[in-house]
Structure 1
């Protein structure tokens, strides 16, 4: 990571927020509808105003449609960029490419897409997909290739794959950037890393230990080098902030207690009728990313400087569930440690999503940008 031309921070550095379809978390039960429009507008505008660079619009097999939510978010915000979570396999890649390119045009070039192949067979079956995980990644490989062809081809193209066959494909609407729309991609299995090496502009990790992050970044870089590519890296974390270290850990303890109470009531906070059950932590997770988080959690609830694994251990690491706990200065320092390992993008969301997003924007983002820039500048000077 190098400093940008203004000296304001390293090039590529982004802080990515989160626009859920409703207010909830592992410790906060959803009370509103499945598509809470006032909440979506409030949390999007808050992150636009407080300085987030981009926001993730989530996807699940039972959720409202992410591209349409992204369109609304783009319409009610002024500058914040979008990262649209998108699952390949249910929309033809030619059509998805044009949908995303259309949104990119309407938003004046603010769109990225996060390709979510899916590691949970049960969830995929909710959408009628019964391929094996390796087959899904093979399909994703073809899907992304067709996306890029639609975005960049100046004349009709043919494509022959196992899952997609296109004759005379062509996207008349192109993204704002002639190179196409940035592709975020996650997955830590061998099949996933193979696809990441070929296609990921940004490889997304969950909040692992320093040692785990360094190891996985190295493997992804090696996979990408085989194709002459150099991806960036994103890390997802759940910061817990307070004005003292003691208060921050007390806040984390309270979050864990509330999460336990929700689970004791039979749910995980996502639905008022508990239609989506939390994963049983006693059952091995089906995806490699969750297994890696549980591997870290098995070593303790407090790791490295301030990595917190309490929620990951409780939930069976069902998604982005590890946090950084401390004062804004302490959490910024830990983020800078990850930046030194090659992370240039940080996806952060809280356990009280709207309230925490405002706190992050006011207290954490300015400090983290400053610390990361200072360390990057010092490293550059030391290398000269």
Structure 2
């Protein structure tokens, strides 16, 4: 079972929560952290800066310049810039990335003065995301200009002349738990970011997402990612994204993640390790141990599904 690990940056200095992980690309410290993340076994890094979408795009471009194999996951919102503008900018980043760019779509509130949004805000937000993604994909793949008149966007002569070589296949990441969110994710998501919960709750959410994707013939295309916060004495007081929380030495953390891996989760989004020492330990101990243990246990249990059942039973018993 291939397992991937994604670094989710937090705050570099817990004592100063205003200092972001991507503090200054001119600083040696930022360059070293990116190189370390790439070298110790992480495949991806999330870009989600408080500065917003345009800041994220700038950070993503710089991160791509300073890495060679790391996939850069750009956090994005519909409604910030027009689809045609976003499609051109993302295509340029894709050309720079060599296929190492993916798009992480988050929901966001609409304007407070939008009366319709106040009445049906959640549904409206996801409908706009749906239309936005449809337009991005069309702009990345069309070979001639087109017009579009939708509920949220009007496009005249929409066309991206310099398409990125991988834009049309750019991986889309989404999340959510409501029926509305899952319907949109089922249509567009290549990677689904799960919400924290018990093993049974996560398994049930995975089944709901697969069912939504199956309506579009996409159930087999989905990969699942789980946010995991590795908690230590140094970062226990630092709050951040919601995630399954695990504490302990690297071997214990790896053991705690095994049952989630056997559910079919193929990516762990690691939160809470931002210092070089923590990054190195997670990569060289936790990541390596988890991969080796999964490979060894799967080799020992030939019957399909038996390994997953056994590990989950062991976790519940523990």
Query: What TM-score, normalized by structure 2, do the two folds share?
Result: 0.82
Is 1:137–1:192's contact at 8 Å kept on the other side of the alignment?
yes
Name the structure, 1 or 2, with higher relative contact order (CA <8 Å, separation 6+). 1
Corresponding residue of 2:285: 363
Structure 1, 69-78 or 35-44: larger mean CA deviation: 35-44
Q: Indicate whether 1:238 and 2:159 are aligned.
A: no
Output aligned runs, 1:27-66, within 5 Å. 28-30=15-17, 32=19, 36-37=23-24, 38=27, 40-60=30-50, 65-66=55-56
SS of equivalent residue, structure 1 residue 51: coil
Q: Indicate whether 1:223 and 2:215 are aligned.
A: no
| CA distance in 2: counterparts of 1:40 and 1:215, whole angstroms | 39
Is 2:12–2:21's contact at 8 Å kept on the other side of the alignment?
no
| CA distance in 2: counterparts of 1:147 and 1:217, whole angstroms | 26
Q: Runs of 5+ in structure 1 lacking a partner?
A: 1-9, 241-250, 260-268, 270-310, 312-317
Is 2:21–2:274's contact at 8 Å kept on the other side of the alignment?
no
Match of 2:77 among 75, 87, 90: 87
| CA distance in 2: counterparts of 1:162 and 1:90, whole angstroms | 16
Q: Indicate whether 1:69 and 2:59 are aligned.
A: yes
Match of 2:143 among 148, 154, 157: 154
| CA distance in 1: counterparts of 2:93 and 2:272, whole angstroms | 27
Aligned-pair CA distance for 1:359: 1.8
SS of equivalent residue, structure 1 residue 65: helix
Corresponding residue of 1:274: none
Is 2:9–2:21's contact at 8 Å kept on the other side of the alignment?
no
SS of equivalent residue, structure 2 residue 283: helix
Q: Indicate whether 1:194 and 2:183 are aligned.
A: yes
Is 1:19–1:44's contact at 8 Å kept on the other side of the alignment?
no
Corresponding residue of 1:7: none
| CA distance in 1: counterparts of 2:51 and 2:103, whole angstroms | 17
Match of 2:255 among 308, 329, 333: 333
Provide, for residues 157-206 of structure 1, a one-character-per-residue CA deviation record: whole Å limited to 9, x for no partner.
Answer: 33332001223322223333364210000111222111111111111013
Aligned-pair CA distance for 1:59: 3.8
Aligned-pair CA distance for 1:36: 1.7
SS of equivalent residue, structure 2 residue 8: strand
Output aligned runs, 1:82-231, within 5 Å. 82-118=72-108, 121=109, 131=117, 132-177=121-166, 179-230=168-219, 231=222
Corresponding residue of 2:266: 344
Output aligned runs, 1:238-317, within 5 Å. 238-240=229-231, 251-252=232-233, 255-256=235-236, 259=237
1:208–1:61 Cα change, 3 Å: farther
Aligned-pair CA distance for 1:323: 1.5
| CA distance in 2: counterparts of 1:332 and 1:77, whole angstroms | 27
Query: What TM-score, normalized by structure 1, do the two folds share?
Result: 0.69
| CA distance in 2: counterparts of 1:199 and 1:228, whole angstroms | 11
Aligned-pair CA distance for 1:125: 5.6
Is 2:9–2:273's contact at 8 Å kept on the other side of the alignment?
no
Aligned residues: 296
Provide, for residues 37-90 of structure 1, a one-character-per-residue CA deviation record: whole Å limited to 9, x for no partner.
Answer: 135434322211222101001144668710110111111112111101111111
SS of equivalent residue, structure 2 residue 17: coil
Q: Runs of 5+ in structure 2 lacking a partner?
A: 306-318
SS of equivalent residue, structure 2 residue 42: coil
| CA distance in 1: counterparts of 2:298 and 2:20, whole angstroms | 44
1:321–1:353 Cα change, 3 Å: farther
SS of equivalent residue, structure 1 residue 239: strand
| CA distance in 2: counterparts of 1:351 and 1:41, whole angstroms | 16
| CA distance in 2: counterparts of 1:156 and 1:226, whole angstroms | 30
